[in-house]
Amino acid sequence: MANIRIGLDAMGGDHTPFESVKGAFKTSVLAEFADVDIVLIGNKPEIDHTLSEQGISKTFEIIHAPDTIMMGEHPTKAISQKRNSSIMVGLKMLMEGHIDGFASAGNTGAMMVGSLYTVKTIEGIFRPAISTILPRLSGKHGLMLDVGANADVKPDMLVQFANIGSIYANLIMGIENPKVGLLSIGEEKEKGNILTQATYPLLEDDRFINFIGNVEGRDLFTDKANVIVCDGFTGNVVLKACESMFYSLMKRGIKDDYLNQFNFENYGGSPILGVNKPVMIGHGISKAKTFVNMLKLTREIVESNLIDSIKAQL
């Protein structure tokens, strides 16, 4: 049986290729990655120099991609003008089946737009979503989507997010019959804005999900719902508020096991849910530990056949 092949954007992120290469090496020596080939995609001379600088003797397959899409570049212009960037080369390899999954901590917008143009959305999906893990006081974890891919959505898009999130929670997080909640400003069915009020009855009627009704901001870190759906504008505000609180408390010297669960390094990244192939987005400030966890999650998504399960349900 052929090894799983995961492409890593060696140039995507604020600390690459130093941290991405180090993360790839740390991952490659893990026993669980004996059947995985990590393919480094990026500027080959820079990658070779980094491997030599770090004293890494392991041989990686390196795909030369001379261009890099910087964090501040306009996504659509960048992917059209930089066809030889590490992001576009990686996505093309994924589309053509040369790799089984692709991970990058580079320009999020370019990863989203590039995925739409290359690997494309699953048939029937209106727009893909980005999810985030919600640490719970019980020690368990929940899932929230969308957290930034779609600032404006329609009710049927939220229904699709609920379905995709349920499948992800089941296959990747191991939650049986996950409970789905709609993020709103009150538990009652009639509470919320026009979007949530129109979405509620559609979720009620969906036989593929275990919809439990509205959830509020105070429910984010409890076990009331395993999957929480919202528009990308709301989700991104929640995500950034959580990150801000985490860093503020860390700066004050507060140490706590639960607080540490908000450290994005422990999760690696978030998949773009709803596209035809496994695509993983990481935080721009990712270090080696983050890349290790990003690669682990990418492998898990490939092995779980998550994409096929989403296709089958939708």
Instruction: Tell me, yes or no, whether 215 and 288 share the same domain.
Output: no
Compute the distance between CA of residue 262 and CA of residue 245 in angstroms, rounded to an integer.
9
Range of the structural domain that residue 91 is part of: 1-120+275-306
Instruction: Tell me, yes or no, whether 141 and 36 share the same domain.
Output: no
The predicted structure's pLDDT at residue 1: 67
In a domain, 312, yes or no: no
Give the contacts of 198 (CB within 8 A, at least 6 positions apart): 155
159: domain CATH number is 3.40.718.10
Total number of domains constituting the chain? 2
- What does DSSP say about strands 129-135 and 141-145: parallel, antiparallel, or unpaired? antiparallel
Residue 307 in tokens: 């994409």
The predicted structure's pLDDT at residue 2: 80
Burial class (CB in 10 A: 0-12, 13-18, 19+), 218: exposed
SS3 303: helix
Instruction: Tell me, yes or no, whether 30 and 105 share the same domain.
Output: yes
Q: What is the pLDDT along the chain (314 residues), one digit of tens a residue?
A: 689 999 999 999 889 999 999 999 999 999 999 999 999 999 999 999 999 999 998 889 999 999 999 988 998 999 999 999 999 999 999 999 999 999 999 999 999 999 999 999 999 999 999 999 999 989 999 999 999 889 999 999 999 999 999 999 999 999 999 999 999 999 999 999 999 999 999 999 999 999 999 999 999 999 999 999 999 999 999 999 998 998 899 899 998 888 888 888 888 889 999 999 999 999 888 899 999 999 999 999 999 999 998 888 87
Instruction: Tell me, yes or no, whether 116 and 132 share the same domain.
Output: no
**8-state DSSP, 3:** P
Residue 301 in tokens: 């998504």
**8-state DSSP, 275:** B
Sign, CA torsion 292/287/85/61: negative
Instruction: Tell me, yes or no, whether 233 and 141 share the same domain.
Output: yes
Angle between helices 288-304 and 18-28 (to 10 degrees): 50
Instruction: Tell me, yes or no, whether 3 and 98 share the same domain.
Output: yes
Q: Read out DSSP for 126-169?
A: SS-EEEEEEE-TTS-EEEEE-SSS-SS--HHHHHHHHHHHHHHH
Please report where in the chains the tokens 């009652």 appear, as a residue.
188
Instruction: Tell me, yes or no, whether 289 and 257 share the same domain.
Output: no
In a domain, 314, yes or no: no
pTM score, whole prediction: 0.91
Instruction: Tell me, yes or no, whether 41 and 115 share the same domain.
Output: yes
Instruction: Tell me, yes or no, whether 140 and 218 share the same domain.
Output: yes
Instruction: Tell me, yes or no, whether 180 and 282 share the same domain.
Output: no
Q: Read out DSSP for 49-113?
A: HHHHHTT-----EEEE--B---TTS-HHHHHHH-TTBHHHHHHHHHHTTS-SEEEE-S-HHHHHH
